[in-house]
Amino acid sequence: MTEAEDPSRDRLKHHFAQRVIHQARQILEVWQRLQQSEWSASDLAELSEANQRLLRFAERFEQFEHAQLATAIGQSLADVEANRGRLSSLLITDLNRLMQRLSRTGLRHGDRLDQTSLPPLRKPIYIVLQDHERGERLAKQLEFFGLSAQSLDSVNAFHATLAERLPAAVVMDVDFGGVGEGLKLASKMQEGLEQRLPLLFFSHHETDTPTRLAAVRAGGEEFLTGTLEASSLLEKIEILTRVAQYEPYKVLVIDDSRAQATHTERLLNSAGIVTRTLFDPIQTMAELADFQPDLIILDMYMPGCTGTELAKVIRHNDRYVSVPIIYLSAEDDLDKQLDAMSEGGDDFLTKPIKPRHLITTVRNRAARARNLKARMVRDSLTGLYNHTHILQLLEDCSFRARRESKPLSFAMLDIDHFKKVNDSHGHPMGDRVIKSLALFLKQRLRKTDYIGRYGGEEFAVVMPDTDLQAAHDVLDEIRRRFAEIHYPAQPVDLFCTFSAGVVELGEHDDALMMASQADEALYRAKKAGRNQVHGLQDGFVSSGASKHTPADIV
């Protein structure tokens, strides 16, 4: 047997690789904490220490990709130290980019920088339901989507398993072990833990306020009632267990005083908030289009343009109507402050302001704005981007790809014979298939890809830094795997497939042209027999149908 064929050697390599990934997770957890508070010297020292351990492990276990990233992160942290601990927007952006790359080395299927990336190392999800059979079914479905899940059938089993290993999250029936006993069990579970475990409560019936209050006090971050579906559960778990807030908040400061603007920028940078300053208010709309901030800080009095006038100009553009505007001014007349806020402002802060007051206000406003925007731009059934926003993202990515001379691909997917699913099995089953494909795409595609529900059973995917061949290969693999999912139904289980059309950004293409070309490629895939992926060029077709017989597939 050759060395390459030695299974024990492969197992050993896999074991070492998982230790490296575990250390990478430690770094990402520190990074997550940094997004929630002002960055201190001790926080940065902890991050640096964790990164040095990652570098040692990666070099020892010959994980070259992680070693390369740890070296780059170490250099960025050294730059921070050389800058006397001061963070610039450039350094924050650079660190964030490296953390994103680190997160893609082993945390999600399909997120890889090369073909040798390792599978994710994830703590299990503990499912603790009164109906143990339902719990077992849910665990199996979650595992299909790449999560490690374990259903526990008794209080003793729960305690024993918890003592052995802490989970990534717990799904707890409020009545597990008796009426209201699940709430007590969960509350006891959290005692003595340095950091509370993510906890999702479930109840068969709608519950009263005291029950929900007890759930909040026990650390419950979500509360589901009625039917517990794998798709909705997975969506919640993904949110509860995500490793890091990968996108720092972005703030645009508009102030004609360079000294004041620079001071504000430094304060926000110290909290890990990416900040740009603009001294000429006339350049505002161009800067907004390029930077896309989460929040705007605006001086009240500037030559040639007042803050309230500029706020009105910003609000004229539908794209920025929900971006919070905070006035930061020495104006202390309450009536004038209220008048300014009525002209498109959301808050008024008076100079001089305490750093903590400014940082907390900015972070809270930006977080709420992101949450509101997510609700505005996402489809309610799947949580994917809606039709309008996915096209906006395609336009933004096209502009960026052209500016950076990088490839960009765009795909449209359509579930085959979807009308027959609704007609034969009802609309709830149709919704289940749509949600299933949405979750499948989110699990198999990169975090840097954008996925939208284009309409009905049709989906769209924007794939930055991806050429046509790579996009085709990824989508074709997803197509093959999706065809293997079965949905319990009568008289036989249901299988579904999808067809896809994919195009790459051309020299003279715009977003609408790419969408039209992808739609044409999708039409060709449908016409050629469905259950396949077509590129724009003739003959660029995937290799055939699913392994299920046509009778099984709708």
pLDDT at 115: 31
pLDDT at 164: 87
Q: Which pLDDT tens digit goes with each residue over 244-287? A: 445 788 999 999 889 999 899 988 988 888 899 999 999 999 89
Of the pLDDT bands very low, low, confident and very high (cuts 50, 70, 90), residue 98 is: confident
How far apart, in whole angstroms, are the C-alpha atoms of residue 239 and residue 442? 12
pLDDT at 515: 93
pLDDT at 272: 84
How far apart, in whole angstroms, are the C-alpha atoms of residue 513 and residue 388? 15
For tokens 């998982």, the residue is 18
pLDDT at 336 over 90: no
Identify whether the C-beta of residue 232 lies closer than 8 Å to the C-beta of residue 18.
no
pLDDT at 391: 93
More confident residue, 497 or 382: 497
| Top-level class of domain 250-375 | alpha beta
Contacts of 283-292 with CB under 8 Å at 24 or more apart are 284/254, 284/310, 284/313, 284/314, 285/313, 285/314, 285/317, 287/252, 288/252, 288/314, 288/317, 288/320, 288/323, 291/250, 291/252, 292/250, 292/396
Identify whether the C-beta of residue 348 lies closer than 8 Å to the C-beta of residue 356.
no
pLDDT at 29: 77
DSSP 120: P
Segment 490-501 mean pLDDT = 89
Which range, 58-72, 232-246, 300-314, 516-530, has the best average confidence (pLDDT)? 516-530
Segment 187-212 mean pLDDT = 88
Write the CA distances from 440 to 21, 66, 264, 517, integer angstroms. 23, 27, 43, 24
Identify whether the C-beta of residue 433 lies closer than 8 Å to the C-beta of residue 441.
no
Segment 131-141 mean pLDDT = 86
pTM (predicted TM-score): 0.62
pLDDT at 201: 94
pLDDT at 357 over 80: yes
pLDDT at 415: 95
Identify whether the C-beta of residue 464 lies closer than 8 Å to the C-beta of residue 445.
no
For tokens 């059979």, the residue is 133
pLDDT at 432: 85
More confident residue, 544 or 498: 498
The secondary structure of 137-189 as a DSSP string is HHHHHHHHTT--EEE--SHHHHHHHHHH---SEEEEETTTTSTTHHHHHHHHH
pLDDT at 500 over 90: yes
Identify whether the C-beta of residue 191 lies closer than 8 Å to the C-beta of residue 213.
no
Write the CA distances from 487 to 224, 348, 433, integer angstroms. 22, 54, 8
Of the pLDDT bands very low, low, confident and very high (cuts 50, 70, 90), residue 65 is: confident
Q: Which structure tokens are listed for 400?
A: 């960026």
More confident residue, 409 or 4: 409
Q: Which pLDDT tens digit goes with each residue over 432-487? A: 899 889 888 987 888 789 999 998 999 999 999 999 999 999 999 999 989 888 77
Strand (E) or helix (H) holding 238: helix 230-241
Of the pLDDT bands very low, low, confident and very high (cuts 50, 70, 90), residue 548 is: very low
Q: Which structure tokens are listed for 218?
A: 């026990």
pLDDT at 403: 87
pLDDT at 145: 65
∠ CA 502-504-509, nearest 5°, is: 120
| Top-level class of domain 387-552 | alpha beta
Of the pLDDT bands very low, low, confident and very high (cuts 50, 70, 90), residue 118 is: very low
The CATH T-level fold of domain 125-241 is: Rossmann fold (3.40.50)
pLDDT at 27 over 90: no
pLDDT at 3 over 80: no
pLDDT at 36: 66
DSSP 36: T
Mean pLDDT of the chain: 83
pLDDT at 293: 93
HSE value, Cβ hemisphere, 13 Å, CA-based, for 421: 26
pLDDT at 554: 37
Coarse DSSP helix, strand, coil percentages of the chain, rounded to the nearest 5 percent = 50, 15, 35
Segment 177-188 mean pLDDT = 92
Segment 160-172 mean pLDDT = 90
Segment 509-524 mean pLDDT = 91
pLDDT at 412 over 60: yes
